[in-house]
Amino acid sequence: MTYTIGEPVQVLDKGHITLRGVTGNDWTIVEAARVSIGAGRKGEEQDTRLINYLMAHRHETPLEMADISLVVKCPIFVARQWMRHRMASYNEISGRYVELAECFYVPDAFRGSSVSNKQGSGVELHNYALHDLYATAMVAARDTYEALLAAGVSREMARMVLPVATYTEFWCRMNLRSALNFISLRNAPDSQYEIRVYAEHIEAMIGQYFPVVYAAWKRHLSSPSLTAG
């Protein structure tokens, strides 16, 4: 897949991720690293070696000189996991200012608890009655929300009844160091599926727009040990 600035890509049942901007490229990292010795680029071969050296020896601050900007539509529970990554800038739609749209995440299947990871999911539960139970709760919450608004309750209070499966939308800007940390943690096998599918797209975006940095990261630092977060 090719990611074009401004074109949304569908994620989950009703979500999307849109690349809104990219600042810098592979060679921005090189120039930021060499400023300490008053030098710039020295040709693609030497510059590529430098990027690999930076990754191998964890000299990661030059990565902060490039960034990506995203618009994300995702369930609230995904957004709350996402915003645990504090080395990024966020601006989110507010249920105080607008009536939130009737838009809930509906999973293809429910998963049972993992036997090896207490907070994680395990195998799918083939119990279709669970979808009816879930849908009933979503509809009841929405009906209550609308009834509270109709009764004159403020938006900032009426929103309290909405479940975390409600979709939200936010802008996110993160530097390359933080983005690599994000995908090392969120595009990992033990990460929750619903955030992992977003992280997969971010990883692919970095591979497209920063191919040399991405290859070096995969070689040296693709485990969750990258320090920024």
Active-site positions read 186
Name the nearest CA neighbour of 12 among 228, 196, 144.
Answer: 196
Helix axes 44-56, 211-220, angle to 10 degrees: 40
Q: And the tokens for 95?
A: 């249920």
Cα–Cα distance between 65 and 30 in angstroms, integer?
10
Encode 183-212: b = buried (16+ Cβ within 10 Å), e = exposed: bbbbbeeebeebbbbbbebbbbbbbebbeb
Of 39, 47, 166, which Cα lies nearest the Cα of 95? 166
Alpha carbon distance 155, 148 (integer Å): 9
Which uninterrupted H or E stretch holds 108?
none
Alpha carbon separation from 126 to 54, 106, 144, 177, 190 (Å, rounded): 48, 15, 30, 40, 21
